[in-house]
Chain A
Amino acid sequence: MWQLDSSTLITVITILASGIGIVLGAIVPAVMEGIAVQKALDGITRQPEAANDLRTTLLISMALLESTAIYVLLVILVLLFANPLLDRFF
């Protein structure tokens, strides 16, 4: 097998973790946002006169849901471009 030095090992693990993390962090908020939109559309078709209130609430809650995905993206950006572990050990 190859003899990897520690810095290469950390880089490889970081890249793997970034890939897995962005997949998991994108799937869950996407599904949840889909559910939120589905319920809001149900409400709008039942009560078209409440569409304006529902739209405001939907936009706010979508932003709150989406922010979890954005946090995942930020953590991964830090891991990829400004990795603190590489600085600490080497």
Chain B
Amino acid sequence: MDAVIPKTVFYIFSLPISDTLFSTWVMMAIIIIIAFLIRKFKPALGEMIVEMIYNIVSSVMPDDINLAKYLPFLGTLAIFLVFGNIFSVVPRMVSPTANLNTTAALAILVLLAVYFYGIREKGVLGFLKDLANPIFMLPMEIVGQVSRTLSLAVRLFGNILSTDLIVAIVFSLIPFIAPLPLIALGMLTGLLQAYIFIVLAALYVGSAIEVEAMEKERRILKQEVSKTYIN
């Protein structure tokens, strides 16, 4: 059973295309079609989905920020993951996130988004200053950034792959009715993992753009002092 290593389906100019990559393309086409349909007909369902993502993201981000700046990235991630984690229920397709390359790409994207939003919000110097508040904690912070990216990727991959594997094993033993509850469990796990990935990404972005309360008070005090000094 070579479920851990993705199969190569066909070659484009001697470039191997794995089955997860092919599934990703099919999934992207489906998502684009659904997005065009939602834009054209504007059903209440689309609004509901966007509000749901907004509520999830706003529950973990800091309160006093403009959430519309961060919602496009996190919402795109949410839609991709919700489709990608349960895409193995479509016949002849596999989940795109059952491949470590896909999840590693998503996790690295989250890491880069943390730096991008942090630098956009605070400037390069401010971001570097807030990265480690006592300066000797800097190595720990760097280790934390690497390890949390790794764990984001590996957690999603492991969960999706393990549920797919369980379904495959039970299917090879009893190919009738018996895998159905496990497929349902796999869909539930996929949705939960998508939720957790989004919440963690929002948490990381939020912690990068957040100015700590004491630091904020200190800056306000400094401004007031300089103002009174000038006056």
Interface residues of A (CB under 8 A from B): 56, 59-60, 63-64, 66-67, 70-71, 73-74, 77-78, 81-82
Contacts and interface: CB of A to CB of B under 8 A. Distances in A.
Contact of A67 (B59, B151, B161, B195): B151
A81 B3 contact: yes
Nearest to B59: A56
Given A70-B159, A81-B5, A59 B196 contact: yes
Interface of B: 1-5, 59-60, 151, 154-155, 157-159, 161-162, 165, 192-193, 195-196, 199-200, 203
A77 B1 CA distance: 11
Contacts of A63: 155, 192-193, 196, 200
Contact of B154 (A59, A64, A74, A82): A74
A70 to B, nearest CB: 3
Overall SS of chain B's interface: helix
Contacts of A77: 4, 161, 165
Nearest to B193: A63
Contacts of A73: 158, 162
B4 A78 contact: yes
B1 A81 contact: yes
A71 B200 contact: no
Contacts of B1: 81
A61 to B, nearest CB: 10
B155 A70 contact: yes
Contacts of B192: 59, 63
A71 B158 contact: yes
A56 B158 contact: no
B5 A74 contact: no
Contacts of A82: 4-5
Given A67-B158, A81-B4, 10 more contacts: A56-B59, A56-B60, A63-B192, A66-B155, A67-B155, A70-B155, A71-B158, A73-B158, A73-B162, A81-B2
B3 A59 contact: no
Nearest to A60: B199
Contacts of A71: 154, 158
Contacts of A74: 154, 157-158
Contacts of A56: 59-60, 199
A64 B148 CA distance: 10
A60 B192 CA distance: 10
A60 B158 contact: no
B158 A70 contact: yes
A66 B151 CA distance: 11
Contacts of B154: 67, 70-71, 74
A24 to B, nearest CB: 17
B199 A70 contact: no
29 contacts: A56-B59, A56-B60, A56-B199, A59-B192, A59-B195, A59-B196, A60-B196, A60-B199, A60-B200, A60-B203, A63-B192, A66-B155, A66-B159, A67-B154, A67-B155, A70-B154, A70-B158, A70-B159, A70-B162, A71-B154, A73-B158, A73-B162, A74-B154, A77-B165, A78-B4, A81-B2, A81-B4, A82-B4, A82-B5
